[in-house]
Amino acid sequence: MFPKRRMRRLRAPVIRPLLAETALSKNDLVAPVFIDETAQKQKSIESMPGQVRYPLAEAGTVARDLWDAGIRALLLFGIPRKKDEQASCAFDPNGIVQKAVRAVKREVPEMVVITDVCACEYTDHGHCGIVGVTRHGPDLLNDPSLDLMDRIALSHAQSGADIVAPSCMLDGVVQSIRAALDREGHSDVAIMSYSTKFSSALYGPFRDAADSGFRFGDRSTYQVPPGNSREAVLESMLDFDEGADILMVKPAGFYLDILAEVRTLGIPVAAFQVSGEYAMIKAAAARGWLDEKEVALETLTCIKRAGADLIITYFARDVAGWLDEEQ
């Protein structure tokens, strides 16, 4: 008789799979790809084992390999030869990302190419736009940086990007980029906004990978404090209002409550499992303390369960292989 409700009945091996609510699929995944203008061959990234900076000459083959593995979208980051105060290489029609977009599209036209629209890889001071002196000291200037973001996004669209992804957290950047794209005939290019981006310590390895660390200050005047949930959701609501096509929560795993809430706004939501989340799993796995595959799949399944339509993850290529094994 007792207990009345036996939860274990439906967990029998033959029944359990029928009732699975959340299954990862290759269509959920976006693979970040670093292209380094100065690289002649692949350069390893110490704090991100398994990830590399590719030379431009390999951009097409990387895309081909990902496509053949079943990955349908990639997020491109460029590491330029030259940095300056104005981030001029970021909107150069022959800049590294612009060339990489064309190379990928030439090799795999069906690949959905997403580009990161930001200036921190291109500025000598490492901040995400134009810096100046404010009443609180040197800081990222909001409105003067908007024009820069428009130019970067436009140059990506002109090179063939399908989706542009502003990651600078400037107020009004989505509206500004949308207007610029529409004005220049790119109304079909979508905007995936890094709409809720926390001021997180988990971006450390990325800053090694993309050489985008800052010379002074930090990003806390433009990114969301990790403990503030209403502010976090409001950031995404504003980008929704400004016309974003896809919202994003970043990092992913520590912020699932925010992801679940942003999902209710009604448009697709991406989650970015960032470099630090990747590095933690890799480091523990290298010591034999965690099972890399099991933990990676668990984190990604939970990110999907919380509401992500898309997951940007450095595990994308591995996951594609793991999903194949299971069939």
Single residue of 30, 56, 79, 128 touching ligand PBG by CB under 6 A: 128
Q: Is position 293 annotated as part of the catalytic site? A: no
Neighbours of 287 (CB within 10 A): 7
DSSP state of 294: H
Interaction partner, residue 63 (Zn ion, ligand PBG, none; CB < 5-8 Å by kind): none
- Say if residues 192 and 165 touch (Cβ distance below 8 Å): yes
Query: Strand 196-197 relative to strand 190-191: parallel, antiparallel, unpaired?
Result: unpaired
Nearer to Zn ion, 76 or 120 (CB): 120
- The CA distance from 100 to 118, in Å, is 16
Nearer to Zn ion, 65 or 211 (CB): 211
- Token pair of 246 as six digits: 């896809």
Single residue of 104, 128, 161, 190 touching Zn ion by CB under 5 A: 128
Asked if residue 274 binds ligand PBG (CB under 6 A), the reply is yes
Give 130's contacts (C-beta < 8 A, 6+ positions apart). Answer: 85, 86, 119, 140, 141, 144, 145, 148
Binding mask 213-232 for ligand PBG (x = CB under 6 A): ------x-------------
Contacting ligand PBG within 46-85 (CB under 6 A): none
What are the distances in angstroms from CA 42 to CA 33, 34, 283?
A: 12, 10, 21
* Angle, alpha carbons 122-127-133 (nearest 5°): 125
| Options 83, 99, 105, 250, the catalytic residue | 250
Q: Is position 4 annotated as part of the catalytic site? A: no
Contact segment (CB under 6 A) with ligand PBG among 37-45, 52-60, 202-210, 284-292 equals 202-210
Contact segment (CB under 5 A) with Zn ion among 4-12, 110-118, 268-276, 297-305 equals 110-118
Q: How far is the CB of 211 from ligand PBG (least distance, A)?
A: 11
- The CA distance from 256 to 273, in Å, is 11
Binding positions for ligand PBG, rule: CB under 6 A: 116, 118, 120, 128, 167, 203, 206-207, 212, 219, 274-275
Residues recognised as catalytic = 197, 250
